[in-house]
């Protein structure tokens, strides 16, 4: 700023232009960046982040059939849920379910991926066959499993095979025993194994050939090759696959709902947390959105804790090397 | 890799070849098992009630007549044609919008390196850990606040901002050769034109992959439509589910419905799975 009267009038817009120029970035790159990412970021904030925050807010209120609650209840919703035997059972059951289904699905997918690795000219055919259940919905799969494979009547596929072999039929989904887990787990495996097999094949293809050649020269056996080359090299894919499987396990809803429920009511056993939350907050007559919000928070916390623990477990060897 | 493995197979000689045959037989049996549910759908759709409840399981359908399918569409109570229509609008709409928004954002995140891009990428990856289904209660509240219940807006918009799709596009576009883009920029094209005219036409593989995965997910979606859809937007999965869990099921009709419901998605899948495999292979997950 100089003493001549004309200059101050020009310096103000000049400074503003420089701020504007900074926002725009070189050749307006920041503006272009904003143009590209804004639709997605706004959508993510409005439809993912705001609902989570809103739900956290509702979880501290008595919000029965209202979303503008006035009665602050503190942690009462959390206390209620954590002392509710149905919710506790469902949480415990699904922690066990996740601990079981994640490694089993991973092992099956990896087994298929490894077998298809050197199967020669049938490779593409088998890959397609194992992959195609991905196209089927849980609803349709549940129909086949519930009404044909695991139909408790004599004309169910497995029961009629059992009868032919001289055994008694089993009441698969009736709830008088725990056989329904066979149906639920086999359905999930059928639907998921192929998808994760493809991801693992992608991971296997990234392992450099010469590491195997070196191992072959050293005379490493198949098992040692798997243990000391394949699995360590596959670690980042493994971490991603197991994380997706874990989230999927806690997210279970479709096949449970369609296999176990009858006319809108769901039995108290084999009840996924999401089904329970659906029943108390939206689907049933209770319409308790405060409880639903609290349940969402608890479930999210459990997924995050398990995810971190799993990540720590998968990457433990990296830390040991470091 | 195939060279190395076939070499080791040669070293193993006859035992290796026997092992190979055993493996093929095992895989073939497994393949039969994997395809069995699809055959069961077909078998049940074209089996009469008497054949269905016969205590001796019948593998061959005994009611192979086209009236099974035509009768399905003329049943106004079921309104299968309407449900197919709703599902088609919902899944095609969601696929187009998701791919458009995610591709643009993925390109922005891959090509512009600044602090905001880092933060946005972190926010995106974080939501992969907390999937939409877990937050269905708050999303549902939000959607009903907007008055979007029983509308395509409600079915599509809250679930179309896919962190997964954006992340896949970003990973894949990181490997796009920048020379091509720079050449176009020298010719005076702005970043939008570069993306639209240069990057997009050369990325159809990953676009096809993400489209396939989004379409399958949307067509097969159950929980979100269960919350949002009512009579005007009832999707095919909901129709089948309600039909199945109600009392007194007409088995043949139900499975004929399932057959009709899986045909579009299996066709899409068979035509585009090559891209899906390629896209997942090149973009990776890590």
pLDDT category at A289 given cuts 50, 70, 90 is confident
When computed from its CA atoms, the radius of gyration of chain A, rounded to whole angstroms, is 28
| Residue with tokens 């299996």, as numbered in its chain | B266
Other beta carbons less than 10 A from residue A215's beta carbon: 17
Nearest to B243 by CA among B232, B228, B230, B258: B258
Task: Note whether A238 and A313 are within 8 A (CB).
Answer: no
Quick one: which H or E segment has residue B8? helix B2-45
Tell me the mean pLDDT in the region A115-127: 86
Interchain CB distance below 8 Å, B27 and A122: yes
- Chain A positions in Cβ-Cβ contact with residue B121 (cut-off 8 Å): none
- Report pLDDT for A79: 94
- Token output for A67: 């979303």
**According to the model, what pLDDT value does residue A3 have?**
45
Chain A from 16 to 55: CB within 8 A of any B CB: 25, 29-30, 32-33, 35-37, 39-41, 43-44, 46-52, 54-55
Torsion of CA B107, B109, B114, B120, to 10 degrees: 150
**Taking CB atoms and an 8 Å cutoff, what residues of chain B touch A122?**
24, 27
Reported as a single tens digit per residue, the pLDDT across B160-194 is 999 999 998 998 899 888 888 888 888 888 889 99
Decide which of B226 and A210 is more confident.
B226
In sequence order, the 6+-apart residues with CB closer than 8 A to the CB of A73 are A60, A61, A62, A290
pTM for this structure? 0.88
Query: Sign of torsion, CA A74 A86 A260 A105?
Result: positive
Measure the CA–CA gap between A161 and A155, rounded to whole angstroms.
Answer: 9
**Residues 6 or more apart whose Cβ sits within 8 Å of residue A280:** A286, A288, A291, A292, A295
* pLDDT (0 to 100) of residue A80: 93
Contact B41, B259 (CB under 8 A): yes
pLDDT confidence of residue B109: 95
Q: B126-159: per-residue pLDDT in tens?
A: 888 776 667 788 888 889 889 999 999 999 999 9
The torsion angle over the Cα atoms of residues B73, B77, B82 and B87, rounded to 10 degrees, is: -100
Q: Which residues of B touch A300 (CB under 8 A)?
A: 130, 134-135
Backbone angles phi and psi of A154, in degrees to 5: -65, -25
For residue A122, what is the nearest residue in chain B, using CA coordinates? B24
Tokens, residue A280: 């108390």
The alpha carbon of residue B282 is apart from the nearest alpha carbon of chain A, in Å, by: 8
Nearest to B253 by CA among B238, B240, B265, B235: B240
**Tens digit of pLDDT for each residue in B185-236?**
888 888 899 999 999 999 998 999 999 999 999 999 999 999 999 989 999 9
Q: Which of A205, A253, A281 sits opposite B281 (nearest CB)?
A: A205
Q: Does A176 touch chain B (CB under 8 A)?
A: no
Query: Which chain B residues are within 8 Å of A213, Cβ to Cβ?
Result: 4
d(CA B220, CA B214): 10
Put simply, the answer to whether A37 touches B245 (Cβ < 8 Å) is: no
Residues A261, B241 contacting (CB under 8 angstroms): no
Nearest partner of A181 among A101, A88, A127, judged by Cα:
A101
Predicted pLDDT at A120:
79
User: Which residues, in sequence order, are bridge partners of residue A64?
Assistant: A288
Whether residues B244 and A52 touch (CB distance < 8 A) is answered with: no
pLDDT at position A19 is: 75
pLDDT bucket at A322, cuts 50 / 70 / 90 = low
Q: Taking 60 as the threshold, does the pLDDT of residue A33 lie above it? A: yes
Cα-Cα end-to-end distance for chain A: 57
Q: Is A190 on the interface with B (CB under 8 A)?
A: yes
**Which residue in A23, A30, A47 has the most chain B C-beta atoms within 10 A of its own C-beta, making it the best mutation to test that interface?**
A47
pLDDT at B131 (0 to 100): 66
Residue A167 DSSP symbol: P
CA distance A179 to A21: 68
């Amino acid at each position: 700023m100089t003493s001549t009267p004309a200059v101050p009038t020009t310096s103000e817009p000049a400074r503003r232009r420089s701020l504007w120029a900074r926002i725009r970035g070189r050749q307006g790159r920041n503006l272009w960046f904003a143009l590209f990412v804004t639709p997605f970021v706004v959508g993510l904030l409005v439809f993912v982040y705001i609902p989570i925050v809103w739900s956290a807010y509702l979880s501290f209120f008595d919000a029965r059939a209202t979303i503008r609650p006035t009665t602050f209840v503190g942690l009462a919703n959390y206390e209620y849920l954590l002392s509710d035997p149905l919710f506790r059972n469902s949480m415990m059951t699904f922690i066990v379910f996740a601990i079981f289904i994640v490694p089993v699905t991973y092992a099956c997918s990896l087994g298929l991926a490894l077998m298809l690795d050197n199967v020669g000219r049938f490779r593409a055919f088998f890959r397609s066959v194992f992959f195609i259940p991905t196209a089927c919905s849980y609803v349709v799969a549940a129909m086949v499993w519930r009404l044909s494979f695991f139909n408790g009547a004599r004309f169910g596929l497995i029961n009629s095979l059992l009868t032919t072999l001289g055994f008694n039929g089993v009441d698969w989904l009736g709830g008088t025993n725990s056989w329904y887990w066979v149906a639920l787990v086999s359905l999930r495996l059928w639907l998921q194994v192929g998808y994760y097999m493809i991801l693992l094949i992608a991971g296997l293809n990234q392992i450099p050939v010469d590491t195997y050649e070196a191992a072959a020269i050293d005379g490493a056996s198949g098992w040692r090759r798997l243990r000391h080359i394949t699995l360590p090299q596959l670690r980042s894919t493994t971490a991603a696959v197991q994380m997706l499987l874990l989230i999927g396990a806690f997210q279970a809803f479709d096949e449970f709902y369609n296999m176990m429920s009858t006319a809108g009511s769901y039995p108290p056993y084999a009840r996924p947390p999401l089904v329970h939350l659906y029943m108390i907050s939206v689907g049933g007559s209770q319409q308790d959105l405060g409880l639903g919000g609290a349940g969402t928070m608890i479930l999210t916390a459990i997924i995050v804790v398990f995810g971190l623990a799993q990540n720590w477990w998968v990457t433990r060897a990296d830390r040991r090397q470091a | 890799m195939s060279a190395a493995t076939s070499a080791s197979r040669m070293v193993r000689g006859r035992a290796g070849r026997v092992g190979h045959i055993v493996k093929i037989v095992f895989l073939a049996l497994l393949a039969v098992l994997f395809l069995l549910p699809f055959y069961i759908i077909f078998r049940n759709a074209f089996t009469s009630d008497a054949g269905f409840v016969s205590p001796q399981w019948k593998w061959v359908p005994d009611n192979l007549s086209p009236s099974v399918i035509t009768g399905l569409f003329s049943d106004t109570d079921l309104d299968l044609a309407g449900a197919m229509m709703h599902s088609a609008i919902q899944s095609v709409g969601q696929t187009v919008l998701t791919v458009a928004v995610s591709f643009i954002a993925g390109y922005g995140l891959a090509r512009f390196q600044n602090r905001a891009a880092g933060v946005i990428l972190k926010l995106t990856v974080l939501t992969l850990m907390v999937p939409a289904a877990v937050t269905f209660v708050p999303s549902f509240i939000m959607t009903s606040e907007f008055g979007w219940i029983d509308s395509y807006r409600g079915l599509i918009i809250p679930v179309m901002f896919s962190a997964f799709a954006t992340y896949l596009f970003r990973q894949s576009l990181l490997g796009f050769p920048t020379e091509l883009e720079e050449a176009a920029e020298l010719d005076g094209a702005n970043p939008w034109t570069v993306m639209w005219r240069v990057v997009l036409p050369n990325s159809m593989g990953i676009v096809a992959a993400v489209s396939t995965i989004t379409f399958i997910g949307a067509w097969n979606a159950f929980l979100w439509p269960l919350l949002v859809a009512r009579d005007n937007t009832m999707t095919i999965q909901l129709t089948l589910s309600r039909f199945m869990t109600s009392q007194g099921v007409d088995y043949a009709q139900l499975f004929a419905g399932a057959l009709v419901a899986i045909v579009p998605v299996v066709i899409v899948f068979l035509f585009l799975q090559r891209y899906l495999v390629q896209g997942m292979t090149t973009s990776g997950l890590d």
